[in-house]
Amino acid sequence: MSCENPSVDKDALMARRPKFDKTKQCVKCKERTGNVVIRHAVYCKSCFFPLISTRFRKSLEPSVNPTPDGPRRKALKASGSLLVGLSGGLGSTVMLDLVAKTYFGAPSVADLGEEAPPSKPKGGKEHPRNMTGKDSEIWRGVPAVCYVEVCGAFPGAEDRTERVRQVVESYATTSPPFAFDFIPLRLEDAFDLEWWKGVGELLFTPPPSSTPILALQAYLSSLPTQTAIHSATQTLVRLLLLYTAASRRASHVLLGTSLTSLSVNLISGIAQGAGFSVAEEAMEEWRGEGKSGELTPPIRIVRPLRDVGMKECAIWAWWCGLRIVGRERYLGGTQGIGSLTRNFITGLERDYPATVSTIARTCAKLTPKEGSDGVCLLCQRPAQHGVQEWKSRTSIRSYNHASFSSSGHERPPHLANATDRPQHRTEPSPSSHLTPHLCYACHTTLTSRSSRGNVKQTSDSKVVPLPLWVGASLSLVPTSEDSSGEVWATRRMGDGEMKAAIGDLLLNDS
């Protein structure tokens, strides 16, 4: 490599590497001139559609049957119905299109390329590859498309429900037609008793609140940072979809997270303390409490576009003429972790396209070192063991703590005038403390302040409403006393005391 100064000597710059390998010919058919470059490989338009469709099926189908049937899958048969999450954004719109075309009789993927579909399907019409959802009945019942409108959280945002409904209903006019059930939800439903009565059981008396939308706004305004608002919104959407899926006895929830979005979610999740649930970000299985209070059958959350980048999604949407409604993307302002990560990954994808898939592949190899300590009540993902104990050792938990006050230190300047934050608790059971039942990421989201980008406190109330599933789960968990009535405490033991406690187990030196 040259060491000359590129600003003076133009020849000092290294020659720009082309974005594609070798020739402009399609790497698959090796006949036609390519139309698109995907991670350095060139594909023509005819080969592009089956390529994306195959990646989609490869990501989804191994998780359709409750137990994998090995490499030679005989038939796909899910244990419940299907729920597709649609945000109105690019990824989920493309995913809905792929679901409709692959399994529910919309014009097939083979018809999209320039090649005429083969007159006789390869492998025969009974081959699982050639079966559509309609004739193979992979999922039970009518599949549903669920949209969560988030405009209630962000004043001034547009309500896109009707435009999304039109996208879903457009599949009823294709040939052959297929009608999905459209389920429009709103973010404030997480605080709405009427919605909760439809999906869960009311085992507790919720705190009186004026309206769900005010409760939602009070909840979001109690969060300490802009990043936390973004993160909390994502969690609310995810849980609204999951409880709705459980109420429809769904076995699969499909989300349109593309490879690009998955990499953004992984990096920004790790940056916000969600490293323990890295595996769940790509694929997870969830069991909720049903109306009778028992655990529902497991629901698999699958992201079938996790091997398809945002570029491929955009080209699919363009060539298929899909209408992208767009979504309200609140990433916590320009300095929010979500926004910074998305900008970074989008730039990385343009300059070094293969690196983005490396992020997802590397994260797929990660497993937590320690086991799980139950499920977080807020996000309902596995929570790490001993989080609070670890936090208490590594961080300053309270400025009002006696030993801290006596040390004579003052509060940092940005917190000098700060009053105590309202406590997150659920009435009317003040004895139930929420903190031990949260994962590290949710606890951080609710409590971690920042020296910049703090949200202005608008609510005077000391009681902040929580999503209804938190109250429902909190009413079921035991309090600090365990079932035998014992109370556990942790304290430091002296050497002598420790030796006495284990004395019977020690071996003699002789």
Residues forming contacts to another protein in the complex (CB under 8 A) are 18-20, 24, 33-37, 42, 45, 87-92, 256-258, 260-261, 305, 310-311, 313-315, 317-318, 324, 326-327, 329, 343, 346-347, 349-351
Report the nearest approach of another protein to the CB of residue 145 (Å): 16
Report the nearest approach of another protein to the CB of residue 229 (Å): 17
Of 258 and 384, the one with the shorter C-beta distance to another protein is 258
Report the nearest approach of another protein to the CB of residue 101 (Å): 18
Coil, helix or strand at residue 102: helix
Alpha helix segments (H runs only) across 207-308: 212-221, 226-247, 259-271, 278-282
Report the nearest approach of another protein to the CB of residue 325 (Å): 9
Report the nearest approach of another protein to the CB of residue 295 (Å): 31
Sheet harboring 250-254: ordered strands across? Answer: 181-186, 144-149, 81-85, 250-254, 299-302, 283-286
Considering only CA atoms, give the Rg of the chain.
26
Q: Which helix (H) or strand (E) holds 133?
A: helix 133-136
Report the nearest approach of another protein to the CB of residue 353 (Å): 10
Q: Are strands 41-43 and 299-302 parallel, antiparallel or unpaired?
A: unpaired
Of 330 and 440, the one with the shorter C-beta distance to another protein is 330
Of 310 and 472, the one with the shorter C-beta distance to another protein is 310
Report the nearest approach of another protein to the CB of residue 366 (Å): 22
Contact criterion met (CB below 8 Å) for 369 and 275? no
Query: Distance between CA atoms of 209 and 192, rounded to whole angstroms?
Result: 10
Of 352 and 390, the one with the shorter C-beta distance to another protein is 352
Contact criterion met (CB below 8 Å) for 27 and 33? no
Query: Distance between CA atoms of 297 and 285, rounded to whole angstroms?
Result: 10
Query: Distance between CA atoms of 401 and 87, rounded to whole angstroms?
Result: 45
Of 251 and 261, the one with the shorter C-beta distance to another protein is 261
Report the nearest approach of another protein to the CB of residue 458 (Å): 27
442-464: buried (b, 16+ CB within 10 Å) or exposed (e) per residue? bbbbbbbeeeebebeeebeeebb
Report the nearest approach of another protein to the CB of residue 144 (Å): 20
Q: Which two tokens stand for residue 162?
A: 């009707």
Query: Distance between CA atoms of 104 and 82, rounded to whole angstroms?
Result: 12
Contact criterion met (CB below 8 Å) for 296 and 289? yes
Query: Distance between CA atoms of 361 and 208, rounded to whole angstroms?
Result: 46
Alpha helix segments (H runs only) across 248-352: 259-271, 278-282, 310-319, 337-351
Of 344 and 399, the one with the shorter C-beta distance to another protein is 344
Of 261 and 384, the one with the shorter C-beta distance to another protein is 261
Of 327 and 425, the one with the shorter C-beta distance to another protein is 327
Of 343 and 355, the one with the shorter C-beta distance to another protein is 343
Query: Distance between CA atoms of 499 and 460, rounded to whole angstroms?
Result: 52
DSSP 305: T
Contact criterion met (CB below 8 Å) for 167 and 88? yes
Of 314 and 375, the one with the shorter C-beta distance to another protein is 314
DSSP 98: H
Of 211 and 346, the one with the shorter C-beta distance to another protein is 346
Report the nearest approach of another protein to the CB of residue 45 (Å): 7
Report the nearest approach of another protein to the CB of residue 270 (Å): 19
